Amino acid sequence: MPFIDRVAYCTPTLAREFERHRGIIEKGKERLSAKEYGRYINIAEERASEREVRDSLRLFCQCMYKATGKNTVILIDEYDVPLENAYFRGFYEKMVDFIRALFESALKTNDYLQFAAITGCLHISKESIFTGLNHLNIVLVLDKSYSEHFGFTESEVLQMMEYYGVAFYRKDSEVRFGGLL
């Protein structure tokens, strides 16, 4: 199966976001060039080439800026899922190249980007997809300065354990999770 067919599973996700914001683009269509608008529609309708998909996030930011006058915030949840799928299906290196190009076009020298937040389970420094990016701020779940933003506090966990009638598992849970509740 050609790589472009395997990359196709990324396209519907991108297409949904392009389609979800299509109304904004239609309202600001006169501020976009015919080429920008055509490329935007190709992605929204899943007719884009691999090259267009690789540049899709940057194009999204550019079109949104032209339509609204505001820079875009990109939120990417579970960035590592396509990488994991590619690993188990035998095309990991090609997916790394694809994701790197996608992220670099969106996150590096993109004048239309306000900021981006990316979540995933794989440790970012181990993935070469981020080597071309500057000014990354990597925040781990265990980082105390962000603890109020991730998961539950110990008191919240204890309240839930009481509520669900499993408070007697507290010691076992602490042992299992290395002292963490």
Q: Is residue 46 a part of any domain in this protein? A: yes
pLDDT of the residue at 172: 83
Q: Is residue 120 a part of any domain in this protein? A: yes
Domain that holds residue 17: 3-138
Segment 106-121 mean pLDDT: 88
Residues 157 and 128 in one domain: no
**At 73, phi and psi to the nearest 5?**
-105, 125
Segment 2-24 mean pLDDT: 78
Residues 130 and 46 in one domain: yes
Residues 99 and 71 in one domain: yes
Q: How many domains does the chain have?
A: 2
Residues 89 and 169 in one domain: no
Residues 156 and 105 in one domain: no
Tell me the average pLDDT of the chain.
Answer: 84
Q: Is residue 144 a part of any domain in this protein? A: no
Residues 113 and 84 in one domain: yes
pLDDT of the residue at 67: 97
Q: Is residue 62 a part of any domain in this protein? A: yes
Residues 12 and 70 in one domain: yes
- Distances from the Cα of 97 to the Cαs of 21, 82, 94, 127, in angstroms? 27, 12, 5, 11
Residues 46 and 95 in one domain: yes
Residues 57 and 98 in one domain: yes
Q: Is residue 18 a part of any domain in this protein? A: yes
DSSP string, 34-56: HHHHHHHHHHHTT---HHHHHTH
Residues 111 and 54 in one domain: yes
Residues 104 and 134 sit within 8 Å (Cβ to Cβ): no
Tens digit of each residue's pLDDT (9 = 90 or more) over 47-99? 988 889 999 999 999 999 999 999 999 998 888 888 888 888 888 888 888 88
Residues 127 and 168 in one domain: no
Q: Flag whether pLDDT at 150 surpasses 80.
A: no
Q: Is residue 143 a part of any domain in this protein? A: no
Region of 109 please: left (phi>0), alpha (psi -120 to 50) or beta.
left
Contacts of 101 (CB under 8 A, 6+ apart): 54, 55
Residues 103 and 126 in one domain: yes
